[in-house]
Amino acid sequence: MNYAKKTLLYFIGHTSVGIIALLYALFSSFSGGYREGMISGIIGGFITTGVLGIIVSLRLIKNPKKAAEVEMAKTEERTQFLRMKTGAAIYSVMIYVESAGILVTGLLGFREICLTLAAVLIIKVILYIGFASHYSKKY
């Protein structure tokens, strides 16, 4: 039940961000283009996923048996192992995808995109090394 309540609070916050963006769009004056599209995307995405998440969380809270099963599945050792292996595989693949993106955008002459991808890749590798050294000392 604890997991369902945490999820409900998360989605309430998620919906609140969408409502704040909606209020910003209503009370600010900006003319079309990129900003308007960005704000409308934030509004639509946050409010839609937030409301759907609230509905799912409330249904889970109303069914304690299902909530207990979900919480047990979240803390099960096999599930955690699979989540860690999946995360590691995705991380490795994304390193190669970002590296290829850097090469392609560099060769095509998109300097800003190339530098942005390179910065993201460098930050990701630095964070990986930092967390790896932290966890190697901790465990």
Can you give 67-106 as a three-state secondary structure string?
HHHHHHHHHCHHHHHHHHHHHHHHHHHHHHHHHHHHHHHH
Position 32 scores a pLDDT of 63
> Is residue 15 within 8 Å of residue 47, measured between CB atoms?
yes
Per-residue pLDDT at 15 exceeds 90: yes
Per-residue pLDDT at 35 exceeds 80: no
Per-residue pLDDT at 31 exceeds 90: no
Report the alpha-carbon distance of residue 49 to residue 46 in Å, rounded: 5
- % of the chain surpassing 90 pLDDT: 57
Q: With CA atoms as reference, report the closest residue to 123 among 95, 104, 96, 89.
A: 95
Position 116 scores a pLDDT of 94
| Mean pLDDT of the chain, nearest integer | 89
pTM value is 0.58
- Under DSSP, the state recorded for 42 is H
User: How confident is the model over 56-111, as pLDDT tens digits?
Assistant: 999 988 988 888 888 877 778 888 899 899 999 999 999 999 999 999 999 999 99
